[in-house]
A and B are shown apart, each in its own frame.
Chain A
């Protein structure tokens, strides 16, 4: 026990006395959250649009008036039908709305510059609903649950959390252990009578505490600044899932440290083998259902996918833990397997 305390104290001193790394570790989640929560958003605003109308009616005037007054659009006025292609080709506008009333019934057509697909998809959707909404006899009544304003922070906060803990736990733990391999201090610990389990705990505990602090910061931001829906029950579930996920990420870090020799290798393995899949395949940014089927299979083995899915359910839908048995089982068993594997590998690596 005294030995474990001494090791934890040593590790804590190392963390505190490397203020640059500590600062990055604490600031990175902050910056990522604010960046994704505020600055980067999948909402599309200020779509530039022109209209081509062959003969004005009350209907077309009403439609154009709606575009003029909508904050999502920057209505650039009417253009001649001969101009429409040039406007798009020269990038002077994002979309052209064509209204034909000469036949009696109104026909409409939307032409969108899809060089930015996200913008094009969103714009098409908006324009369609604005044109058809006018007639007032749309058969579909849609209501958006859980995130009626479609705030992108609701979508990103769970994703960012899934990334941050992999980043901090896996990279920091593996680099700190491998650094001891490089400098030779790990050898000193191994020739001493300390048990391997004590060495492992001496590494895991300080980084677990640091991660818990980061979790607290992230949650304060998520609830206080980004306005995630709040309820005591959901917070308890969030903390529970996150601590499990932190343990999982620490196990990954430990496993990496047992397999590589240099800090650089540890960094690359953590970043390439774990960070990229998390960003690309976990559903953090790109919906898993949109992935090719093979990548969907691959994503099933990425723990972040299950954590992020669970976090979305807990944080956004605020559903109880009873609905999350699947995610919980997967995360818990993955953690158990990874931790066991890491300990076995670490022990054999230090022998």
Chain B
């Protein structure tokens, strides 16, 4: 088990593709139960960094531990303890909401009974009873997004990675989605989230801002705003990222 106070620790993590350094010696930790915002423009290296943490990509150098396990040597152990939700809330469109949950529950080794009781409770909590038997392809996008989050966390992972979870969703739905994230952290889950929307950065306990493969700023939103003498995270981001060389 992971007894340290950190869910994720990363030191000098680097990923090169040929001559191109996608992620350049990043170092940070994420405390347990924290909502950690991972900001950066497109191409700044967010997704590459996240893939290394999920065990999908092997770092060129540096090291990291997720849920107490080494990201290079113990990737399989990490996979059991994390949840992952990607940009387009990918679920199987031709399966119903319930079938999707059952599939992902089974994949993460839950028993039929566990899946049944958990999905029953989740559908009730989310007020989604009416959506249960509908194919995901026919469900409105806001619900789909919640469902994707539920599917990613049905096995109660220690850490959930959210890759642009609110892309293309209206502000009201986004706010509701964040309520869901808060609820998950109240249960002790750690949330690692990348986002484009800088208003969402305000919801995070701490945020890091990546520019050209490096982490240029890392603190709580309030501290960052103070340091850069800015009113919003948007301004902070613009000041930190103004020297970015990589194109959007």
- CA separation between A285 and B54, bound complex, in Å? 51
Shortest CB-to-CB span from B98 to chain A, Å, is 12
The yes or no answer to B219 lying at the interface (CB within 8 A) is no
Q: Are B108 and A184 within 8 A (Cβ)? A: no
Question: Which of B57, B80, B91, B102 is close to A185, meaning CB atoms less than 8 Å apart?
Answer: B91
The yes or no answer to A194 lying at the interface (CB within 8 A) is yes
Contact bitstring A325-351, B, C-beta under 8 A = 1, else 0? 000000000000000000000000001
The yes or no answer to B172 lying at the interface (CB within 8 A) is no
Shortest CB-to-CB span from A143 to chain B, Å, is 57
Q: Are A191 and B84 within 8 A (Cβ)? A: yes
Known: A18-B94, A193-B79. A183 touches B88 (CB 8 A): yes
Surface stretch bound by B, among A6-14, A116-124, A134-142, A315-323:
A6-14
Select from chain B the residue with minimum beta-carbon distance to A185. Answer: B90
A61: chain B residues at CB < 8 Å are none
Q: Are B94 and A14 within 8 A (Cβ)? A: yes
Q: Are B54 and A185 within 8 A (Cβ)? A: no
Q: Are B95 and A193 within 8 A (Cβ)? A: no
Q: Are A185 and B92 within 8 A (Cβ)? A: yes
Number of A interface residues in the complex (CB < 8 A): 22
Q: Are A13 and B99 within 8 A (Cβ)? A: yes
The yes or no answer to A225 lying at the interface (CB within 8 A) is no
Q: Are B107 and A187 within 8 A (Cβ)? A: no
A187: chain B residues at CB < 8 Å are 56, 84, 86, 90
Question: Which of A2, A190, A191 is close to B106, meaning CB atoms less than 8 Å apart?
Answer: A2
Shortest CB-to-CB span from B59 to chain A, Å, is 13
Shortest CB-to-CB span from A316 to chain B, Å, is 42
Shortest CB-to-CB span from A17 to chain B, Å, is 5
- CA separation between A6 and B92, bound complex, in Å? 13
In this complex, which of A2, A6, A192, A194 has the most chain B Cβ atoms within 10 angstroms of its Cβ? Answer: A192
- CA separation between A191 and B91, bound complex, in Å? 14
Contact bitstring B89-121, A, C-beta under 8 A = 1, else 0? 011111100010011101111000000000000
In B41-64, the 8 Å CB interface with A consists of 54-58
The yes or no answer to B76 lying at the interface (CB within 8 A) is yes
B99: chain A residues at CB < 8 Å are 10, 13
Count of A-B residue pairs with CB < 8 Å: 67
The yes or no answer to A188 lying at the interface (CB within 8 A) is yes
Known: A10-B92, A10-B103, A184-B87. A190 touches B56 (CB 8 A): yes
Q: Are B108 and A193 within 8 A (Cβ)? A: yes
The yes or no answer to B201 lying at the interface (CB within 8 A) is no
The yes or no answer to A309 lying at the interface (CB within 8 A) is no
The yes or no answer to B82 lying at the interface (CB within 8 A) is yes
Q: Are B103 and A184 within 8 A (Cβ)? A: no
Question: Which of B55, B95, B103 is close to A191, meaning CB atoms less than 8 Å apart?
Answer: B55
Q: Are A191 and B82 within 8 A (Cβ)? A: yes
Q: Are A183 and B109 within 8 A (Cβ)? A: no
In this complex, which of B57, B87, B95, B102 has the most chain A Cβ atoms within 10 angstroms of its Cβ? Answer: B95
Shortest CB-to-CB span from B147 to chain A, Å, is 13
Q: Are A188 and B90 within 8 A (Cβ)? A: yes
B84: chain A residues at CB < 8 Å are 187-188, 191-192
Select from chain A the residue with minimum beta-carbon distance to B161. Answer: A191
- CA separation between A17 and B136, bound complex, in Å? 13
Q: Are B80 and A13 within 8 A (Cβ)? A: no
Q: Are B76 and A14 within 8 A (Cβ)? A: no
Q: Are B58 and A183 within 8 A (Cβ)? A: no
Q: Are A3 and B95 within 8 A (Cβ)? A: no
Shortest CB-to-CB span from B136 to chain A, Å, is 10
Known: A191-B79, A191-B82, A351-B58. A184 touches B107 (CB 8 A): no
A259: chain B residues at CB < 8 Å are none
Across the A-B interface, give the 4 residue pairs with the lowest CB-CB distance, nearest first.
Answer: A184-B90, A6-B106, A191-B84, A193-B79
Given contacts A187-B84, A190-B56, 7 further A-B contacts (CB under 8 A): A13-B99, A17-B135, A184-B90, A185-B91, A188-B104, A188-B152, A191-B54
Interface CB pairs A-B, < 8 A, 27? A2-B106, A3-B106, A3-B107, A6-B106, A10-B99, A14-B95, A17-B135, A18-B94, A184-B86, A185-B90, A185-B92, A187-B56, A187-B84, A187-B90, A188-B86, A188-B90, A189-B107, A190-B56, A191-B79, A191-B84, A192-B84, A192-B104, A193-B107, A193-B109, A194-B107, A351-B56, A351-B57
